[in-house]
Amino acid sequence: MNNFSDLGLDTTLVNAVSDLGFSTPTPIQTETIPLLLDTDRDILGLAQTGTGKTAAFGLPSIQLTDLKNKHTQTIILSPTRELCIQITKDLQAYSKYTKGINILAVYGGSSIDTQIKALRRGVHIVVGTPGRTKDLINRGILKLENIERVVLDEGDEMLTMGFKDDLDAILAKTPKEKQTLLFSATMPQEMLSITKKYMRNIVEIKVSKVNIGAENVEHHFYMAQARDRYETLKRIVDINPAIYGIVFCRTRRETTTIANKLSQEGYNADALNGDLSQSQRDDVMGRFRKGSLQLLIATDVAARGIDINELTHVINFNLPDEPEIYTHRSGRTGRAGNKGIAVAIINTRELGKIKQIERKSGISFTQKLIPTGKEICQTQLFSLVDKIGEIEVDDYQIEPFLPTIYEKLGELTREDLIKHLVSAEFNRFLSYYKNSIDLNVSKNERSKRGSANHARLFINIGKKDKLTPARLMGLINENLDNRDFEIGKIDLFKTFSFFEVDEKIAEKLIDALTGKEFEGRNLSLEIASEKPSRRRSNSGKSKKRRDYKDKPKGENRTTGQSRSHRKGPSKNRRSSRKKRHY
């Protein structure tokens, strides 16, 4: 079948789907829609995100609805509020020409009173999360006697999130004579028990494990040291100025940490996880859907229901444990004929996972080199130039200001004006990546960065002093005549920081910065050893050195300075260059 009208759908539905830009049904739609329209058999659909499942069960559910009967006839259960809302919006779009149909989303975090009033007025199709749906059933508000279809979407995820008891409670109260549809990316043992207990005369529909947009998705992986994972993420983002994507993390805490760090460093990013209130989630998703938020840092669960065709990238900050989850993630890009890129950031021990995903899903990965600072600066510069060239000039709006502008900039030559204009927008990248190191590693190589070539320094300023990696690198570059050196890993804490530099310039840098002022603080620098050790004192007695973890002992909680630094470093301390152990 080459079009939706061949599937037996009403003209009103075909026209609505056409308005959305779809003309050819996907494999799961081709198999599911005729079955739903012509039989009452239960359906088990094994399909990934991006295969068109919502239309597969949604279009027939709308067509089969008896509009004269105001009672609920179809219940669709989904694991998250976001997916619940997304399904509802899709069904409303499909039914734009179906007059008189009522579709309602019910989920926690929003007013239950509003949902109760809507149900009492009459709702044909209810899309809900298990918890809120069960609550409304127990209150006697959501009536089940007229239910003809129950759809379980993302069944495996509902079990993962602990909704097994809720699903059992809901299904047990539905009429025995009904049609049950279960859609799932995987088939865990608990899911099999549900099919045996609540489904009969099952038709199983399988589509390719790789999502329908897979041919439009490139799969890349970057190999880095585990400690460089965040820096690698930033470089991937910086080398793609027009990036619009999701960064997947394992935990809620990790999403918050990464989103906060990116925001503090000037990136347009925010977190989406289960710790947010409904209003916060709505705000984040609203900004992301509109494109005003460039990067969404999310967990797998929180990202369910995100259906945006224009995403350019999906980035796996950590690879998931199951290959199917990677496929699920990558299915969020490369949609509606658009090209997309799925990225994995891995270390040398995770190559086996890449091979496993390739073997199980048929995906082919390409290893990419982590961009260098020079490559990023070049890309960003040319992007800026293109952006300036494409800006539409409104002569009427700027005309009153031109005489003053000409007066202020009249002495600049054409070449100087271009340099000033570009530098005003571009200096952040030049400063940050001036002496950046190569982060690439191979499975047979260690990082090019080695302790034999780099010294680790302590500096007595940190986040409390508004220090960022970019400002630290700028501070270093401003105070050294010779800039032909590399700056390694930077670790920022509240009132102090560590950073790595070429050991050849370590002493010179200490001399150059010590005693200088930054945000009202006199700077103090010392060489820090990588590991705590025991050293002999002059008397020959063994003395245990301090082991600095998160904060040096003796730090003054008010000033943020250690007791030995309150009046600045002494000449003896600077000349002896004693190593501090952290």
Average pLDDT of 378-395? 84
Q: What pLDDT is attached to residue 545?
A: 37
Average pLDDT of 397-418? 86
Polymer length in residues for the chain: 582
Name, in order, each residue with C-beta under 8 angstroms of 330's C-beta and a sequence gap of 6 or more: 211, 214, 217, 219, 314, 340, 342, 363
- For the cut 50, the answer to whether the pLDDT of residue 533 exceeds it is no
Range in 38-47, 280-289, 361-370, 533-542 the model is least confident about: 533-542
Range in 117-126, 136-145, 423-432, 510-519 the model is least confident about: 423-432
- Which of 352-356, 389-393, 416-420 ranks highest by mean pLDDT? 352-356
What value does the mean pLDDT of the chain take? 83
Q: What backbone phi and psi angles, to 5 degrees, belong to 535?
A: -130, 155
Strands 340-346, 313-316: pairing is parallel
Q: Report the run of H or E that residue 543 belongs to, with start and end.
A: strand 542-544
Contact between 228 and 256 under an 8 Å Cβ cutoff? The reply is no
- Residue 568: pLDDT band with limits 50, 70, 90: very low
Average pLDDT of 360-380? 90
Greater confidence (433 vs 539) lies with 433
- Per-residue pLDDT tens digits for 430-460: 778 877 888 888 655 544 444 446 788 999 9
362 dihedral zone (left: phi>0; alpha: psi -120 to 50; beta): left
Q: What pLDDT is attached to residue 288?
A: 94
| Closest listed residue to residue 305, CA positions, set 160, 162, 165, 129 | 129
pTM value > 0.75: no
Q: What pLDDT is attached to residue 567?
A: 38
Q: What's the DSSP call for residue 5?
A: G
Contact between 362 and 209 under an 8 Å Cβ cutoff? The reply is yes
Surface-to-core class of residue 381, CB atoms within 10 Å of its CB (0-12 exposed, 13-18 middle, 19+ buried): middle
Domains of the chain plus CATH, in order, are: 4-206 (3.40.50.300), 214-373 (3.40.50.300), 454-581 (3.30.70.330)
Q: CA 181, 186, 189, 190 torsion: positive or negative?
A: negative
- Residue 360: pLDDT band with limits 50, 70, 90: confident
- Per-residue pLDDT tens digits for 269-279: 999 987 888 78
Surface-to-core class of residue 8, CB atoms within 10 Å of its CB (0-12 exposed, 13-18 middle, 19+ buried): middle
- Residue 484: pLDDT band with limits 50, 70, 90: low
Where would I find the beta strands (DSSP E) of 263-303? 269-272, 295-298
Q: What pLDDT is attached to residue 181?
A: 94
Q: Is 431 helix (H, G, I), strand (E, B) or coil?
A: helix
Q: What pLDDT is attached to residue 328?
A: 80
Q: What pLDDT is attached to residue 561?
A: 41
| Closest listed residue to residue 558, CA positions, set 468, 495, 486 | 495
